[in-house]
Amino acid sequence: MTDRHKFARLNAARRVWAVASIHGEAARLGRLHGLIWDRLEPGDRIVYLGNMIGRGAAVGETLNELLAFRRVFLAGRNAFASDLVYLRGAQEEIWQKLLQLQFSQDPKRVLNWMVEFGVGSTLEAYGSNVELAREASGSGAVVLTRWTSGLRQAIRQHPGHFHLYAALRRAAYTADACLLLVNAGLDPERPLETQFDSFWWGGEGFSRITEPYGQFRKVVRGFEPRHPGLVETDYTLTVDGGCGFGGALMAACLTPAGELVDQVEA
């Protein structure tokens, strides 16, 4: 857990706000930020649990809202940049892989899988669409490379977006290593450092957490395919009201010991 490029350490946290999957719903995110702002206390930390992009129609606006709230949160509160964390979710992982689509052995098949997961709205946020993507994926490596390069240039034209993607972490944990926050799950039989893509594809493993995972008292996730809302067990907490699928955007506030002390939804 010492690799700061993979994991975020929340130092001196009194409480942690865990924000569920947003899926490109900027308006809900703006309302949720207002609710959280009214409840913030000194020592609060904020972790966005991945899936910030994809599916919803306002991906670009969502990232702009995330960046705007970060500026306000860090200003005037004796806060450090590490007090607000963005986690990589399945949507961010898919987006990164799409930007490397030219290296795929079967780009058309991989793209179709990505489209099923809702990457189309993210493409549109950066001036492209599914039709152009399919045309490029069937036109050979040179054309496909030119197309993905254009997407990268488009990202850089949106202030802060490139740096937000570069700041994504696989998981976050409190300095006392009691609270662990992930996107969708993990494999409870493997150490944290070897989870890799289990964080965004390991939902089944999450349900098998029936005792403390290592020294962590509670593991929190922000995506579950059935979108059950707020579901707590002795050792886990799921926060997913179905934002992006017709449901609400939720956030839960916990102590480092894993006690749920507040919750909001928009």
Three-state secondary structure call for residue 208 = coil
The token pair at 203 is: 């939902």
* Closest to 262 (Cα-Cα) out of 86, 16, 11: 16
**Pairing of β 44-48 and β 179-182:** unpaired
Average pLDDT, the chain: 95
Q: Which two tokens stand for residue 95?
A: 């987006």
Task: Write the pLDDT tens digit of every residue in 195-225.
Answer: 989 999 988 899 999 999 999 999 999 999 9
pLDDT for the residue 148: 98
pLDDT (tens digit per residue) in 69-106:
999 999 977 889 999 999 999 999 999 999 999 999 99
Q: How much is the pLDDT for 76? A: 72
Share of the chain above pLDDT 90, in %: 94
The predicted model scores a pTM of: 0.96
Q: What is the pLDDT of residue 2?
A: 55
Give me the pLDDT at residue 178, please: 94
**Residue 5 confidence class, pLDDT cut points 50, 70, 90:** confident
Instruction: Give per-residue pLDDT as tens, 159-203.
Output: 999 999 999 999 999 999 899 999 999 999 999 999 989 999 988
| Residue count (the chain) | 266
State the pLDDT at residue 1. 52
pLDDT digit string (tens) for 22-45? Answer: 999 999 999 999 999 999 999 999
All structural domains of the chain, each given as residue ranges with its CATH number in brackets, are 7-86+168-265 (3.60.21.10), 93-156 (no CATH)
Residue 257: CB atoms within 10 A of its CB come to: 11
Q: What is the pLDDT of residue 196?
A: 85
Residue 13 has pLDDT above 80, yes or no: yes
Can you say how many angstroms the Cα of residue 92 is from the centroid of all Cα atoms in its chain? 7
Closest residue by Cα to residue 126 from 110, 97, 147: 147
Task: Tell me the torsion sign for CA atoms 28, 244, 137, 88.
Answer: positive
